[in-house]
Amino acid sequence: MESEISASSGGRAVFLDRDGTIIEDVGYASSLDQLAIYPETIGALHELKEAGFRLIVVSNQSGVARGLIDPSFPDEALRRLRETLTWNGAPLLDGGYHCPHHPEAEVEQFRRDCECRKPEPGMLLDAARDFDVDLSRSYVVGDHFSDVETAHRVGASGVLVLTGHGMHHVTKLDQVEPIARPDFVATDILEAARWIILHRQHR
């Protein structure tokens, strides 16, 4: 099952921001009971999976650096999301990466200018290697312009969703640097998924 999917995926992936994109952004979620999956998420992920995309979470978790989140929690959260977001018993999410760093962190261990905190593209580059992804045919979906910029830094496309902080950010669309301008603005993850599925047929 897993190998059939990868064989038909052709190396395309959709990188999904976590907070404000597939789950509610509650501000530094630090326990499993705070993970509130949007009702549109499962359908969106299923449609993307059917269309042959790898689905990979990429999440800035500076709450770890700020001492607000246990360093083990982002992985625990990913495990829970993979267990919960399934179709016919198979997880829809292929994997995930998170950045625990922040340049002005409270916690010294995580205080650095890293290459993984979005808009730096380190997580995408790691995923491209680990999952054999063709970034030029891939997408990032997120609720911040930094998600979009991450995509464009590696030649992928970026979709801004209006959930999470998206509705606030979109009001500043005309002030944004070209590299962070979204290829599409979607109401939510489901509209983003449908645009991606239509759009990739023309590439």
Closest to 25 in 3D by CA, of 162, 191, 190: 162
Going through the chain in order, the beta strands assigned E by DSSP cover 13-16, 54-60, 86-87, 90-91, 95-99, 139-142, 157-161, 184-186
Pick the closer one to Zn ion by CB: 29 or 51. 29
CB of 96 to Zn ion, least distance (A): 14
101 to 120, contacts with Zn ion by CB under 5 A? 101, 114, 116-117
The candidate with the shortest Cα–Cα distance to 192, out of 86, 87, 91, 44, is 44
* β-strand partners of 158: 140
Q: Is 188 in the site for Mg ion (CB under 5 A)?
A: no
Q: Using the minimum distance from each CB to Zn ion, give the nearer residue, 10 or 103.
A: 103
Binding mask 136-175 for Mg ion (x = CB under 5 A): -------x--------------------x-----------
In the bound complex, what is the minimum distance in angstroms from residue 143's beta carbon to Mg ion? 4
Q: Which is nearer to Mg ion, 127 or 161 (CB)?
A: 161
CB atoms within 10 A of CB 26: 12
